[in-house]
Amino acid sequence: MTIQRYMTVFGDIPQVALSNPKIEPVSDFMAQARWLVAGNSSIHLEAALAGVTPIYYELTPPDTTDYYGYVRHGLAKPANSPDDILKMVKAGDGAEGPDFEAVRYYSATYLTDWDGREGELVAECLVGVFRGDVLPVEIVEIQTSQLRKLPSLQTRGAP
């Protein structure tokens, strides 16, 4: 499907806007969006971190479906056609934002005091390890099968 096809399908729907990242910064676009439609792209995670609900839709058949696991882990809502996307948007499906736990699967600092300050957290932990100080986070050992059950950091405004 070409951009022109998207314009034909979605052009008359006031809730839908297309963005050209060469012209508009991603952060500006996300600040105006409730949903983001994309295929195999890390933009889904960027959208979810910005409070935008990602919709996974492939324009062309991918080499690997759901490469990042965003649909499998509940971060992105799957759509099989432009009609599916329209139904979701018109019904308000996901208008409340992305699933909190799905975002936390990819970013343990989401909606915590460390959200957006991950570099500072890493630096503080490295200095703490070097000095033998108590670290600002709980250290746990987990198995791959337990990744969805990561311990919660103290959250702000989350369920």
pLDDT at 121: 92
Q: What are the pLDDT digits (tens) for 67-120?
A: 999 999 999 999 999 889 989 988 888 888 899 999 999 998 898 888 889 999
Q: What is the mean pLDDT of residues 5-25?
A: 77
DSSP three-state, residue 144: helix
Reading across the β-sheet that carries 77-78, which strands appear in turn? 35-38, 53-56, 77-78
CA angle 51, 121, 149 (to 5 degrees): 60
Answer with the residue of higher pLDDT: 78 or 9: 78
pLDDT at 149 over 50: no
**Considering the entire predicted model, what is its pTM?**
0.73
d(CA 76, CA 98): 8
Q: What is the mean pLDDT of residues 120-141?
A: 84
The structural domains of the chain, with segments of one domain joined by +, span: 3-104, 111-149
Is residue 125 exposed (0-12), middle (13-18) or buried (19+ Cβ within 10 Å)?
middle
CB 43 within 8 A of CB 70: no
DSSP sequence for 15-76: T-----TTTS-HHHHHHH-SEEEESS-THHHHHHHTTPEEEE--SS--SSTTTT-TTTTTSS
pLDDT at 155 over 70: no
CB 76 within 8 A of CB 52: no
d(CA 116, CA 111): 9
